[in-house]
Chain A
Amino acid sequence: MKLRIKYEKTGVLRFIGHLDVMRLFQKAIRRAKLDVAYSKGFSPHQIISFAAPMPLGMTSEGEYFDGEFNTVTSTEDMMDRLNRTLPDGIKVHDIVLLNDNAKPSMAIVSASDYYIYKNEECETDIPEVLKNYIEPMMNKTSVEIIKKTKSKEVMSDIKPLIYEIKPYKEGIYMLLASGSKDNLKPELVIEALCNEADIEYNRYDYMIHRIETYMGESKALKPLSCDGKQF
């Protein structure tokens, strides 16, 4: 049986990487004594896969992984057992039993939304300053930015990948293309806003929090957990 598990990663655990989160869950699943399925061979491993890798430093309340289980109990029971053994900063929010035709989460991710807010260590509130440059930037026909790939740097128009951007709470909200087809990092949008505002870009002047991970067309996005039902 395939389950999709939604979790948050917050607090100091923002400093552990994607692979470390995977290993953390493998151990938590064992401690919680969930009946996860294993691969065959000399080094059997749990059959679990993560939706979208999360960069170091970012927090999130909308992360997902899929897992194959031999037997399951109920959403409530499995969540409870996991949450009792997970460290502060990682918490499971939902578990759904996937529909038979559901595709692996990593293949269907299409967008993510983010909340960008002030880094308390930083004297100036950069997101507050940048708020005023959202409209001027989005009113342009294109938003050009240098995208760095492994081998080269290319000029790229990121405007089509920004589905929504607006002032939000103490900072900025943005809904961006995400996944294997089109992917836009929130850092690049902030860099573009800094260019617009003519201020120096610095990654540590602001914090990024992912709110949700979505699947589907940009006009009809729905959270990854919509591919299944609680049980």
Chain B
Amino acid sequence: MYLPDFDYYAPESVSEALDLLTEHKENAKVICGGTDLLPKMKHELLAPKVLISIKKLPNIKKIEYVKGKGISIGAAATHNEIVFSEVVNSKYPSICNAAAQMAANQVRHVGTIGGNIVSAVPSADLPPILIALGATAKIAGPGKERVIPLEDVFTGPQQNCLEANELLTEIFIPDGDMTCSTYHKFALRRAGALAVVGVAVALQTKGCADGACSIEDARIVYGAVAPTPMRGVKAEAVVKGKMATDDVFEEAGKVAYSECKPISDFRASEEYRRNLVGVYTKRCLKRAIENGHK
């Protein structure tokens, strides 16, 4: 349990950071909160020779609403900064709730949204709700910048689509037509626990106030039950264009049960995870419709 030796850089501009990444390539790791990286280094799972801190990059922690467009969250915004962000709370409290369910207060104080994404741990709590709300990722590279759907960032367990010389700088949640959203996490204790299953739902509904609630559009995302956060495409198809009834939710749960791809580990068996995805999909749909984005 000892950190191996490494060189440490704290660039003050994105271009400087990209230069360092280009120079050191695979030997370098980007560090911000370090809540994922440092334990891995202590356990000798990773031994980067160079650590590049992005904490000093301009605007990297900024959370703001871009009028008429959406919410922009800098990659280095901490979970607690999101939990307590008025900007995010006023629009999508569901994101704040997801951030608040993560780990423990100490980790939420230093861990960041960017780290939660690029570490690409299948059980991460933020990606499902962000993907459900149609978030995009801004990735800076030498001489170029690309914006891609967040779900495309994840390529496998602890694997992302970033090149060695690229850097995630911003998450953007566009204004959309979704009227409600929620993230529901199943963990084995009430704090300091990884999601055994996480389900996020974002829906566009119509007529709910009048008692004839129909679902116009739906995005359902499963966490911790596939190599990457997984879109529940088949469950979405079940609910889209339907009236919001318990039977429809039940049916969506059944489809979710069969379309997720969990594995067994010491936290939960595959069978149990499937069951949970089914139950939680059903419950999330109901909860989202009842509570809006809360």
Chains A and B come from one and the same complex: no
